[in-house]
Structure 1
Amino acid sequence: MNKLILIWFCLCIGTKTLFAQQGKYDIAVSYGFYQAPMYKQAVNKNFFAADFDYYIAKRWAISSGFLSGQFAYYEDYRSNAYSNDDYTNAKGYESHAYLTASYSVIHGKRFSVQIGAGIGLFTQRLKFPYRAAGANLEASHYGEQIFTGEESFSIVEIPLKLEAYYRLGTRFGLGIKAGTFLQLGRPLAASYFGPQLRVRL
């Protein structure tokens, strides 16, 4: 997680340095529903996203962003402590750091709708119950106990996003942010949707 935040910070600095001439900058924060449909009995949780946008032309913007989402699900593959009585027994934590190019399909003085795509780094961490031998202090002997197992990995992905917002004045705007991610070997990657607050620097 800390590495992804550092990558996002470097992308922000790099974007601003690369396009250090005249232009308009936005910082956008979003919060809402996060879905991971490829997992069994997945329960939607929430996401938080922060984006740094630089407008290189009237309709074009370069963005660097970071999104963190989580969900609950039922783990019956990695876990050997599953039960038919549990609806969910595990949790997933996913982080995305990305760089995208966005185009405003609707570009008005107040209202804008933009779509974007790019490249990013995806990191996932799963936490699930795992049964293994352990000390039973009450009985003073060794037996089986349930521990928390973890598994994580990182891959390159392609983020796709849609943002629609209305500017309340010269500095602030309100809107929505939605999107998904294309990942090799994972056809049902995560998706998200939620409100967004934008601030013009």
Structure 2
Amino acid sequence: MVTQSNINFFTNWGKERLGEMEATVTSFQAKAAEVQSDLSEKATKVLADLCKQRDEFRDTLKKQSEAGEAAWTEAKSKMEADWRVFETEAGKYVESFGKQLEQQQATFKLQADAQLKAWREAADKLGSDAGKFASERRADIDVALKRMNADAAEAEKKLEKLKEAGTHSWSALMTALTETRLAFDRANEAAREAFKRAA
């Protein structure tokens, strides 16, 4: 149980990042036709590179879902680096081709929705997994799950507030996503540790 639970936590991490990648690419593709014609070829190439990075990340995640914890730990370092490259390139895309506030807001909304979906799925899965433990061994898990749900609710409030405001800069929106992503990672890690202690 411990090994499988640990793998679930790594998978939660990867699914959250992949969800944001999918949302980013979807948003950029929806607005690709609006890029000025003299920049269109360059934008198409950058978008193709982002799609390739997303596909490679998805393939790695799929491959790792079958691997053990040691393989996950090693792969996660590379996946984190791949995520940072994707995030940087997406930022450059927005700065170069998606300067319209509407494009930035649309991308942010999709990314925020993907992140919140990952929170909910992780909490639901962990809640389901917690039921497999005897009640006397679940106290830490229940605390971690309550914390994860509370953090998810707080993240949702923060992201919803930014989505409604609609006037924030791209960097402010990305800072908010980074903060809530880090909160997700902390909650996911706390739940992982609780499952380890209960096993």
Structure of higher CA gyration radius: 1
Per the normalisation by structure 1, the TM-score is 0.29
The structure whose residues are more often strand, as a share, is 1
Per the normalisation by structure 2, the TM-score is 0.29
The structure whose residues are more often helix, as a share, is 2
